[in-house]
């Protein structure tokens, strides 16, 4: 069964601090996909990144970076030099390949508050 | 940039009433989904739809729920007899292909309040 665990429920930082959001997943499949979504206070879900299980290269996009480690089943997300606009709930999600569905299974989310 | 749209943004209904939530997926997408998020909780999968039929549904998606793609552009979620516990944000999502081919793009959500 698929499961995503975001152990941290809420983090508060001061602007310009770096912050890492943890995500641990469980799956029996060898092919799967991992995602991060951002949900700002306005409520929409904004796609940030998708990685497949065969690509363990870390990725950097501006102030965002992702560390995927299959050995520990983790897909952590780091925001460097955080800004107030980063304040949101961040969800990690997992999708398994096949079956014609590829539904997303979300973690419980982590609320990040960046204070000026 | 193409986006998923949802109407209405907020729906208030009385317990026992039927509601229809509407979504217009991105035009070239083939996979469609409904998720819901009870206030302050995680996003939960309800149903996926591909090739004009349900491909998977969760335990939440019981006989009170149905989905339809009536005209090739809209994708609707119907709740036949709403309950208080149906109060939630409902998100529609679409993707061009399976997880191999692309990510799911979400609409802005419809907040359903059942009184």
**DSSP track, B46-95:** EEEEETTEEEEE-TT--TTEEEE--SSS-EEEEESS--GGG-EEEEEEEE
Q: Is the peptide bond before B68 cis (omega within 30 degrees of 0)?
A: no
B89/A103 Cβ within 8 A: no
B100/A101 Cβ within 8 A: no
Are B31 and B50 within 8 A, CB to CB?
yes
A16 Cβ under 8 Å from any chain B Cβ: no
Averaged pLDDT for residues A61-87? 95
- Spatial neighbors of B53 by CB under 8 A, at least 6 apart, are none
Are B48 and B29 within 8 A, CB to CB?
no
Predicted confidence (pLDDT) per residue in A44-65, tens digit: 999 999 888 988 888 888 999 9
pLDDT at A101: 59
pLDDT at A62: 93
Mutation site for A-interface testing, chosen from B50, B97, B104 by largest number of A Cβ within 10 Å? B104
A35/B103 Cβ within 8 A: yes
A43/B108 Cβ within 8 A: yes
Q: Is A42 left (phi over 0), alpha (psi -120 to 50) or beta?
A: alpha
B42/A109 Cβ within 8 A: yes
Calculate the average pLDDT of chain A: 92
Query: Kind of pairing, strands A110-115 and A88-96?
Result: antiparallel
Could you tell me which chain A residue has the CA closest to the CA of B109? A44
How many whole angstroms separate alpha carbon A29 and alpha carbon B109? 30
Are B3 and B25 within 8 A, CB to CB?
no
Token pair, residue A79, equals 């925001």
Model confidence band, residue B40 (pLDDT cutoffs 50, 70, 90):
confident
Interface of A with B in 56-75 (CB under 8 A): none
How many whole angstroms separate alpha carbon A40 and alpha carbon A46? 8
Are B89 and B6 within 8 A, CB to CB?
no
How many CA atoms does the CB half-sphere of B38 hold within 13 Å? 10
How many whole angstroms separate alpha carbon B57 and alpha carbon B47? 4
Averaged pLDDT for residues B37-59? 93
A97/B98 Cβ within 8 A: yes
Averaged pLDDT for residues A28-49? 91
A108 Cβ under 8 Å from any chain B Cβ: yes
Q: Which of A35, A52, A101 sits opposite B56 (nearest CB)?
A: A101
């Amino acid at each position: 069964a698929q499961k995503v665990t975001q152990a941290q429920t809420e983090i508060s930082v001061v602007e310009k601090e770096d912050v890492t959001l943890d995500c641990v997943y469980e799956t029996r499949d060898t092919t799967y996909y991992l995602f991060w979504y951002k949900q700002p206070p306005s409520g929409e879900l904004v796609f940030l990144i998708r990685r497949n299980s065969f690509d363990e290269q870390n990725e950097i996009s501006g102030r965002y970076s992702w560390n995927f480690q299959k050995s520990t089943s983790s897909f952590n997300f780091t925001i460097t030099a955080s800004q107030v606009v980063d304040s949101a709930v961040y969800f990690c999600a997992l999708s398994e390949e096949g079956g014609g569905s590829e539904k997303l299974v979300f973690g419980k989310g982590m609320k990040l508050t960046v204070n000026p | 940039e193409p986006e998923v749209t949802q109407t209405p943004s907020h729906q208030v209904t009385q317990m026992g009433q039927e509601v229809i939530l509407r979504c217009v997926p991105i035009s070239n997408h083939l996979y469609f989904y409904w998720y819901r998020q009870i206030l302050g909780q995680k996003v939960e999968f309800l149903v996926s739809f591909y090739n004009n039929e349900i491909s998977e549904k969760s335990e939440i998606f019981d006989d009170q729920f149905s989905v339809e793609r009536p005209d090739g552009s809209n994708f609707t979620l119907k709740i036949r007899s709403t309950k208080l516990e149906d109060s939630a944000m409902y998100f529609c999502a679409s993707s061009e292909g399976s997880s191999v081919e692309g990510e799911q793009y979400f609409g802005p959500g419809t907040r359903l309040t059942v009184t």
